[in-house]
Amino acid sequence: MPQIARGVRPFSRYWRVTTPSWADAIAFLLLAGLGVLIVRGAEGVAQPLSQLRLDPVALDPWNLPAYALRTTLRMFAALAASLVFTFVVATLAAKSKRAEMVIVPALDILQSVPILGFLTFTVTFFMGLFPGQQLGVELAAIFAIFTSQAWNMAFSFYQSLRSVPSDLEEVSRGFALSPWRRFIRLELPFATPSLVWNAMMSMSGGWFFVVASEAISVGNTRIMLPGIGSWLALAIDRQDFRAVGWAVAAMAVVILLYDQLVFRPVVAWADRFRFEQTASQDGPQSWAYDLFRRTKLLPVLFAPFTALGRLLMAVDRRPARGQRSERREARSPLGQILWLALVAAALLAAAWLVIGYVAAHLAWHDALTAFGLGLITMARVLVLIALASLVWVPIGVWIGLRPRWAERLQPVAQFLAAFPANVLFPFAVIAIVHWHLNIDIWLSPLMVLGTQWYILFNVIAGASAIPNDLREAAGMFRVRSWQWWRTLAIPGIFPYYVTGALTASGGSWNASIVAEAVSWGSERLEAHGLGTYIAKATTAGDFPRVTLGIAVMSIFVIGFNRFLWRPLYAYADRRLRLA
């Protein structure tokens, strides 16, 4: 009998390895069902815009599954766009000092621009790209959700790339890894655990603004896309508590489903990239992740993609030149001066356009009014971020060091983070009116409802990223109480906390648009602040005041970040690195 050539797998062995099992059957059903849902949810995108008037949003519970599907697809489309944006922009900012000078301040500005501000200027643009089609409005809604997700993920990835342990960087230089291989083999795996937690937070942040994204109202234009956000907006307008309850229940079911089928498997998979020298005894678990690992046909189906990845890795054999290019960039004072001059000229041109546009329609009194209202909103943001930090930092550390508890509390935290503030408007309005409470004080907590979770999720990511060998060393030496916080916990979580607090503060400014001016039916309460100023201008279609409000808010956020969060970033990078 002829000997089988070496390296050739016998057919019987190949058949035995790839024979479908019960895991393959379940995985196939899940993936097939997911494909059918995507196709069904995307059917309405190609319909004409007039169909929204013929078939408006109706508060019928039988419509909620279809509405929930449309909303979920928009959320994941925005999340995919946010991931691409993060990998490109955050990596460029971390790798190039000249790009960092532009990208980081731009992210500061963009995260401070309210979602209503984006909608004011983008709805017409997207509708013009696809006139008479729902696709244009869908893209506007997805872009609005994208603006509530992308900045947090970009800041997280940027911070992770800046805090790669020095010994791992030395190893990558010793092996002369090319920039592409260094990114794939070192930087992306190191940043993955934190990015996963921030992706979950960004997903929840998108839910927080889903009402403004789907029930688009700019001036005399009001478009309600089929979705949970539009359902909530209609229920609040009609003061229908029962419909609000149905929407919250549907949202809870959707969050539970994608937590079990998407995020929890990804968290379990990302645990392999934790930077530690001794393996943790209690890692995160996921039944879906274990199921897909047991399948035999999925690796065969995805073999072309894995082969393409190996091919790209094999083709890219260039030696590393990253360090030399950075030194060359630093040694070129003329190039640095020219770049600074170009950036300054662009900033001056943008400022001149904004000031000229506002000055042509408004007076100096309007600018002083907006600035004064910005000071009021800034005071609220400072107090709320301080209170949220005192509450959630200890809780986040406790959860992050206990993966089992993190599994149990993960869907609860996602639901609370996704809980739209609009749902609490009725209770806030009724309580304030009934007890004659101070509007400026008691509407303030609504600003932090959706943003405090940025702090919690980032602290959980930071605590879970603390190397297990350092935890064991602290236990062996009986490091306790404040010394444990000072020598282990704070250095481990501080860079992550700064990222969370930075995005939470920017999110609080953004949330002021919906939290400082609330309504329940015909009852409307307005607190003094810049959020109320922008919300009223947007509703009235007053574009000069919208522009002025956004510009003032951007100035406050950039100043806040420049004088507080950026110095803390530098301090964390310089003094509080565990490796």
Under a CB-based contact definition with an 8 Å cutoff, are residues 267 and 404 in contact? no
Can you give the pTM of this predicted structure?
Answer: 0.76
Q: What three-state secondary structure class fits 216?
A: strand
* Cβ-Cβ contacts under 8 Å for 562 (sequence gap 6 or more): 108
- Please report, rounded to a whole number, the percentage of residues in the chain having pLDDT higher than 70: 82
More confident residue, 242 or 46: 242
pLDDT score of 1:
43
- Which two tokens mark 446? 């609504």
Instruction: Tell me what the mean pLDDT of segment 457-467 comes to.
Output: 83
- pLDDT for position 449: 76
SS3 of residue 163 by DSSP: coil
The pLDDT, as a whole number, for residue 571 is 78
Residue 320 has pLDDT above 70, yes or no: no
Once rounded to an integer, what is the mean pLDDT over residues 475-499?
84
Rounded to an integer, the average pLDDT of 553-562 is 82
For residue range 69-97, what is the model confidence (pLDDT) as tens digits?
Answer: 999 999 999 999 999 999 999 999 988 88
| DSSP per-residue string spanning 421-487 | GGGGHHHHHHHHHHHT--HHHHTTHHHHTTTHHHHHHHHHHHHHTS-HHHHHHHHHTT--HHHHIII
Residue 325's pLDDT is 43
Task: Please give the average per-residue pLDDT across 280-305, as a whole number.
Answer: 73
Contact 180, 145 (CB under 8 A): no
- At residue 578, does pLDDT exceed 80? no
What pLDDT shows up at residue 371? 92
Average pLDDT over residues 40-45: 77
In sequence order, the 6+-apart residues with CB closer than 8 A to the CB of 527 are 439, 440, 443, 444, 516, 517
CA distance 37 to 302: 21
What band does 5 get if pLDDT is binned at 50, 70 and 90? very low
pLDDT in tens, 511-534: 787 778 777 666 778 888 988 898
Radius of gyration, CA atoms only, the chain: 25
Three-state DSSP string of 29-79: HHHHHHHHHHHHHHHHHHCECHHHHHCCCCCCHHHHHHHHHHHHHHHHHHH
Can you list the domains of the chain with their CATH numbers?
Answer: 53-271+288-318+362-575 (1.10.3720.10)
pLDDT at 87 (0 to 100): 93
Pick the closest to residue 226 from 250, 260, 204, 249 (CA basis).
250
- Give the pLDDT of residue 91: 92
Residues whose CB falls within 8 Å of the CB of residue 545, separated by 6 or more in sequence, listed in order: 362, 366, 370, 533, 534, 537
Tell me what the mean pLDDT of segment 193-222 comes to. 76
For residues 77 and 148, the answer to whether their CB atoms sit within 8 Å is: no
